[in-house]
Amino acid sequence: MPKRLISAGAISSALLVSGCASVSGGNVQSMVVTTAEKGGRDVAGAECMLSNTKGNWRLKTPGETTVVRSNTPMTVKCEKESLPAGMATVESATRAAMYGNILVGGLIGAAIDHSSGAAYEYPVSVKVVMGDVVSIAAPKPAEGAAPGRNQSKVHDKRFDLPPASGFADAANVNAVPSEAARKAYAQWLEKPVPRAFVLSSDGRAYWSSDTSAAVQRATDRCNERASGCQLYAYDDVVVWKASNVIEPRQRRAMPETGNAFENAAGAKQASAAGIQTVTARVTHRDPLPAPTSFAALDDIKALPNTGEKGRDLYREYLTWAVPKAIAISDRGAIARAHGIPDAMQSALQKCEKFGGPCRLYAVDGNVVFVPFPPRQHLFHRPSASNFAPADDVAAMPFVSERAREGYSQYLNLSAPKAFAISARGHWSHLGNDSRSMKTVLERCEAHGSPCWLYAVDNQVVWRAEANERIGLRQLQPMAESAGN
pLDDT tens, residue by residue, 276-296: 333 445 789 899 999 999 999
**Rounded Cα–Cα distance for residues 450 and 448 (Å):** 7
Q: Above 50 in pLDDT, residue 432?
A: yes
Kindly report, residue by residue over 42-62, the tens digit of the pLDDT: 888 899 999 998 888 999 988
Closest listed residue to residue 170, CA positions, set 335, 42, 326: 42
Consecutive H or E run containing 96: helix 96-116
Task: Give the CATH fold of the 12-152 domain.
Answer: Immunoglobulin-like (2.60.40)
Residue 231's identity, in one-letter code, is: L
**Least-confidence region, from 270-274, 358-362, 451-455:** 270-274
Residue 399 DSSP SS3: coil
Is it true that the peptide bond before 62 is cis, omega within 30 degrees of 0? yes
% of the chain beyond a pLDDT of 90: 35
Whether residue 160 contacts residue 38, with contact meaning beta carbons closer than 8 Å, is answered with no
Give tens-digit pLDDT for 221-233.
Answer: 888 888 888 999 9
How far apart are the C-alpha atoms of 12 and 15, rounded to whole Å?
5
- Which value, to the nearest 10 degrees, does the dihedral of the CA atoms of residues 167, 344, 303, 39 take? -30
CA 59-409-407 angle, to 5 degrees, is 90
Q: What integer is the mean pLDDT of 321-333?
A: 89
Report the Cα 79 to chain-centroid distance in Å: 18
Asked if the model's pLDDT at residue 339 lies above 80, the reply is yes
Question: Which of the residue ranges 79-93, 272-286, 417-431, 470-484 has the most confident prediction, judged by mean pLDDT?
Answer: 417-431
Mean pLDDT, rounded, for 195-219: 89
Q: From the CA atom positions of the chain, what is the Rg in Å?
A: 31
Other CB atoms within 10 A of residue 243 CB: 12
Cα-to-chain-centroid distance, residue 218: 22
In this prediction, residue 77 has a pLDDT band, given cuts at 50, 70 and 90, of very high
Q: Residue 212 pLDDT more than 70?
A: yes
Question: Where in the chain do CATH 2.60.40.1120 domains reside?
Answer: 12-152
Q: What is the mean pLDDT of residues 474-479?
A: 86
- Is the pLDDT score of 428 beyond 80? yes
**pLDDT for 155 beyond 90:** no
